[in-house]
Each structure stands twice: as structure tokens, then as C-alpha cells.
Amino acid sequence: MTSSNGWQRGALAAGIAGVVALAGCSASGQADADQPQGGTVTLEFMQWWEPELPKGSFRELMDRFESENPGIEVELISGPWSQTKDQIIAGAASGTIADVVGLDGSWLYDLSRQGAIADLGEIFEENDYDTSKLVQQVTVDGATVMVPAVNFAYPLFVNLDLLEQVGVSEPPTTRSEFLAAAKAISEAGGDASGWAMPLALETANGVQNDILPWVWAGGGQILTDDGKPDLENEASVSGLEFVKELWDAGAVSPGAFSMAEQDKVEEFAAGRVGMMFSSLAHINMLRASNPDLNFTVVAPPVPDGYSGEIGINTNSWGVGIADSSEHKAEAFKLLEFLLSAEVSSELSTWANGFPGNVDGAPDFSGTDPLFKQAFDIFQDGYPMNEFVGAPVAQELQRQYATEVQRMLDGDLPVTDALKAAQTAWSGEF
């Protein structure tokens, strides 16, 4: 579950993959042996952020932290996302986890259940830290285990030329407008479809990125407030019924059952898909791959008649502290630094994301204007991803996608598909 402050709210959730033991992360318990003479504390900070940021920028940021906090040094342990995940999970199992760790929401459940991640709520309270400035706090079993430093939103990407060709002057804001536009594009006689919905079971992230945005946009949830499966509620049923309506109308791109995320983006870049939910990270890629592509980003369409805040699918670069760390006070200072308005703004600017501090804002000078447009959308809504902090999130999505495929094949009514998914999910929680 997640608590949010300022202009954000929402419950977030995801799960854990298997344990792969990799070398390379020294034990936090060995910190005294690594500690230089003179009382300097060395914090290990394991993350995948550094390789994804402009060269040298993250190290320079850590140098600034060190200059502002004499007696603390930061050793960056950097690698690709998958390697970092494996090392953190292996380190948690062996008691050799780094002092400070970059976290993806999909790793949290098992790490928390193992007692590997400290309760940040207790640390914040001990340090009289003002959490009202945080966009989100992610909790598992009541303990705050992660705070997002950078958020990545998934708005609706819209091909404006395809809309114009079918006589639609403005991007859709409601489900009925979306359905009409998607049908018109698919029926126009070209090779374009209205909407792409990747449902490949190998990754199954099309559940959180493409199907559930229809539920979340209208304020709905698929988990209860205490984090239990609730797939058969009215908002959940309505969202999946709308997906089926799009499917039955022929508005969905062919090959959905084998389509992956990257396939969707490539189809949109080629002008063969009119609309898709996707990460803002794809804006620059789309510009580079097809300079003539005329597109924009808008908020996810909401149920007709809905007037509340819009939930926007969001992933993040989260940060936490190892429970085994002997330097929690120093680790907190690093978190406080990363989550400050100034630093989270810099990080989000470099990463093409949004800050973890409500007072932060990316520097949009010199960037694609769509990033500023998306930031405004993000501020007007709230971040939402109920797989963050849930057990085996990848498997939950695979189970859901399996039932959706059966439904779309005509084997199941929507309510039966969700009932089957509910039963499967209940066995995982």
C-alpha cells in the first residue's frame, strides 16, 4: 500500500522475482573494516540509476553530498536494472545488502518480509522529518519501505494525424470518445488500428500498463485498502468490460496475444497505431525513429460522467535503507539529500521523470515540450500502480492476462474472467 501527500495519492503494488546470487556487494556489517581512519563513514549505495543518467552526473551529485556532509563518503555500486535486482535480492538473503539501495516496487514484498529493508517511518520520526513534502511513501504490512526519488508516468500517446484523418479534432478525454476515435481509425481502410494492447504472457506487463489504466483513471482499484485482491468490484468490472468493447469493435491492433511492450511502441512509431499508453521515456525515442510523427500526450480517458482526480499509472526509482546497515543515521542524511526539492528536481530532469518532492519541478528548458505537458497532467492527477509492494506481481499479471485472453477468445464472460483471476490471486496473498 502507499500513502501520498500534497497533490498525489494512491495505492501502489508489485512483486518479487527469484533469487540469483551474484558477487559484488560487500556486507554492510563489514562497514567498520572499510571505514577509513579519522572516523569517516562509507555508505554503500547500490542502484541502477547511474548508468541511465548523463555520464558523470550522479557521481558529481554524490560529491556534492559529501562536501555538504563531512565525514560521510558514498561508494556507488552501479549496474543494469536486472543485475542490481539480483544483487539486492541475493544480498538480502545473505545479509550483505548495501546501506542504501535503489528499489523497484516489484522487489519490495519479499525484501520487506525478509526484514531486509528498514522501516523508514521510524527513521523519519526519529529525525523529525517532514514527510508532507514526499509525493509518495510505499508501505508493506504497515511499514514504509520505499520512497520514490523519481516518478515515471504513463499517459496516453495520441497520433494527431490519424485522428485528423478520421475527422477527430481533439484527443479523447472520456471512454466513449476514445472508443469512437479508435473505431474510426481501425475502420478507415488503412493499416492502422485504434489502440494497442500487449498481452504477451512472457512479461504480462500489459496488465498494469494497458488494461488497468482504464480502472485507475476513474478512481478505481483492484485491491482493497489493506492490500487484498478485489477484482470483482464495480470499477474493475467496468474497466475490463470497456477493454472487451474495444476488442469486439475491432479497434485493437492485431496480434495482441503475442505483442510485447516494445512491439507496441514500434507500431506507434510506424504510424500503425493511433493511441497507446506508454512511458514518457519513449518520447525521445519516437522523435528519433520517426521525426515526422505528429503526436501528443494526454491524460488517460475517464469513464463518462467521472469528475474526480485521474489516477495515472506510475513507476519509480525508489530508495530505501538496509535494516542491517550500521549507519542508518548517515543513510538517512543521504535519503534526505536525494528527496530534497532541489536534488529530486535535478534527478528527474536528467532521467526525464518527475520529482519525488512535491515542491520539485524538472527543468524543461531545452526539452521536448511534451514533458512539461505530461508534468502538468501528473500534477493534476495522482500516481497509481497497485502492483508495487504486492507479492509475485509478475505472476499476478500473468494470471490476469491469461484470463483476459480466454475472455477475448470468447470462452469467458468478463465477470467469470475476473472471478477466476480473483481466485488465483487470493492464493498468492
Residues 6+ apart with CB under 8 A from 1: 11, 12, 13, 138, 139, 140, 225, 226, 227, 389
pLDDT recorded at residue 3? 43
pLDDT recorded at residue 56? 93
- The answer to whether the CB of 333 falls within 8 A of the CB of 69 is yes
- CATH 3.40.190.10 residue ranges in the chain? 2-152+314-384, 156-298+392-426
- The answer to whether the CB of 50 falls within 8 A of the CB of 78 is yes
Closest CA to 77 of 52, 55, 53, 48: 48
pLDDT recorded at residue 8? 36
Global pTM value: 0.82
- Grid look-up 485522428 returns 163
CA distance 260 to 206: 8
pLDDT tens series, the chain, 429 aa = 444 433 333 333 333 333 333 333 333 344 343 444 458 999 999 999 999 999 999 999 999 999 999 999 999 999 998 899 899 999 998 889 999 999 988 788 889 888 999 999 999 999 999 999 999 898 888 899 999 999 999 999 999 999 999 999 999 999 999 999 999 999 998 899 999 999 999 878 899 999 999 999 999 999 998 889 999 999 999 999 999 999 999 999 999 999 999 999 999 999 999 999 999 889 989 999 999 999 999 999 999 999 999 999 998 999 999 999 999 999 999 999 999 999 999 999 999 899 999 999 999 998 899 999 999 999 899 989 999 888 888 899 999 999 999 999 987 899 999 999 999 999 988
Helix, strand, or coil here: 288?
helix
CATH (residue range 156-298+392-426): 3.40.190.10
pLDDT recorded at residue 59? 97
pLDDT recorded at residue 38? 54
Element (H, E) at 76: strand 72-78
CATH class of 2-152+314-384: alpha beta
